[in-house]
């Protein structure tokens, strides 16, 4: 089995120039797709170059891909050659397995101890895309956020005796955006002022009015986290319990899937991606498993 950390990519405009192709639902994925298809490579530090390779479109999709992302470095090794020990320079690579669904801006990354955590590799992947000449031409900004697992927090909220504080961190719009009326003006403000995220806070007097039921709070948390936001609150588990803080945390939602590699059948790659997307859907519904 392999573990993938899950992220959501965001495509932003710069303060100086609006995004090309308008602001329709397909505009941001189109930009991401054009940048990805340029398959850039970049050197972030001396001696190491990052690459996208083994890219393969997932069957029966137009925008989903499996690939390997990695760093090549030249390393000096001592070998026995022609009856003598010699020092030779050998190109070596450390790689990670990656799934990318451009239409939903979903990124799944397997960690590699030699490259770092899934989050570090995801950030390197975004830096790699930003190094593309096409990214420069489009003047788009790409960022990535972990999709935190909201299910423990939702369980705490639903079982709480009382909720004295609630906060929800809402990212700017992306292709997988929700239709929540509450989120729309917040995200529009984030777009206008070029904020990456906006944090909403509800205090005890607001929560006590029952304007938001626990189910509605759980739904808002699930919606926000599956587009890369976070959430938390302060709850009491019983009438005499002390209040305590609970939150989603920063760690990415993790998917366990069967091993996959360039040699894996394309239909099996599709099945791996479907299991990853199903996990995100369950988390969005607040369901375990």
* For the chain, domain boundaries: 2-146+253-266, 151-247
The C-alpha atoms of residue 172 and residue 146 are separated, in whole angstroms, by 14
Q: Across residues 150-176, what is the average pLDDT? A: 85
What residue has token string 């997307």? 277
pLDDT of residue 175: 54
pLDDT tens-place string over residues 191-241? 665 667 778 888 776 666 656 788 888 888 988 898 889 999 999 999 889
7-11, 34-38, 72-76, 172-176: segment of lowest average pLDDT: 172-176
Reported as type and span, the H/E element at residue 186 is helix 183-193
> Residue 4 above 80 pLDDT?
yes
pLDDT at 186 exceeding the cut of 70: no
CA-closest candidate to residue 221, choices 172, 165, 173, 151: 151
> What's the confidence (pLDDT) of residue 233?
93
**Structure tokens of 4?**
């993938």
State yes or no: pLDDT of 189 exceeds 70: no
Determine what percent of the chain is predicted with pLDDT higher than 90: 54
pLDDT band at 97 (very low <50, low <70, confident <90, very high): very high
Q: Tell me: pLDDT of 51 over 90.
A: yes
Pair 172, 190: CB distance under 8 Å: yes
| Listed residue (246, 225, 88, 85) closest to 150, CA to CA | 225
pLDDT above 90: residue 52:
yes
Give all strands (DSSP E) within the chain, no chain letters: 2-13, 42-45, 48-57, 64-81, 84-101, 106-110, 140-146, 162-171, 197-203, 230-236, 244-247, 254-257
Q: b/e map of 13-44 (b: 16 or more CB within 10 Å)?
A: beeeeebeeeeeeeebbbbbbbbbeeebeeee
Q: Is the pLDDT confidence value at 289 over 70?
A: no
pLDDT at 250 exceeding the cut of 90: no
From CA 76, how far away is CA 141, in angstroms rounded? 37
Secondary structure of residue 191 in the 3-state scheme: helix
Given this model, what pLDDT does residue 248 score?
A: 92
Q: What is the pTM (predicted TM-score) of this model? A: 0.86
> Do the Cβ atoms of 63 and 101 come closer than 8 Å?
yes
Q: Is it the case that residue 116 has pLDDT exceeding 70?
A: yes
Q: Point out which residues pair with 203 in neighbouring strands.
A: 165
Identify the weakest region by mean pLDDT among 73-82, 129-138, 198-207, 245-254.
198-207
Distance CA 126, CA 145 (A): 11
Cα–Cα distance, 207 to 217 (Å, whole number): 10
């Amino acid at each position: 089995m392999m573990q993938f950390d899950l992220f959501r990519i965001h495509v932003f405009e710069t303060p100086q120039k609006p995004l090309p192709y308008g602001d329709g639902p397909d505009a941001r994925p189109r930009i991401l797709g054009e940048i990805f298809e340029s398959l850039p490579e970049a050197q972030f530090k001396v001696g190491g170059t990052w690459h996208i390779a083994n890219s393969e479109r997932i069957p029966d999709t137009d925008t989903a891909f499996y690939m390997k992302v990695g760093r090549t470095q030249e390393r000096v090794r001592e070998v026995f050659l022609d009856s003598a020990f010699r020092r030779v320079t050998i190109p070596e690579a450390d790689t990670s397995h990656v799934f990318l669904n451009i239409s939903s801006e979903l990124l799944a990354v397997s960690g590699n101890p030699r490259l770092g955590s899934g989050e570090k590799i995801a950030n390197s992947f975004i830096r790699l895309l930003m190094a593309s000449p096409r990214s420069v031409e489009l003047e788009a900004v790409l960022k990535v956020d972990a999709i935190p697992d909201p299910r423990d927090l939702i369980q705490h909220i639903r079982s709480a005796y009382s909720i004295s504080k609630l906060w929800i961190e809402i990212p700017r719009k992306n292709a997988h955006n929700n239709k929540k009326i509450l989120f729309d003006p917040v995200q529009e403000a984030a777009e206008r002022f070029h904020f990456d995220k906006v944090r909403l806070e509800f205090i005890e007097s607001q929560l006590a009015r029952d304007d938001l039921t626990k189910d509605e709070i759980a739904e808002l948390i699930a919606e926000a986290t599956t587009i890369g936001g976070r959430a938390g609150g302060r709850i009491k588990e019983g009438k005499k319990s002390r209040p305590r803080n609970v939150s989603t945390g920063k760690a990415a939602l993790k998917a366990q899937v069967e091993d996959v590699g360039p040699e894996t059948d394309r239909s099996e790659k599709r099945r791996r991606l479907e299991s990853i997307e199903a996990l995100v859907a369950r988390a969005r519904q607040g369901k375990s498993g």
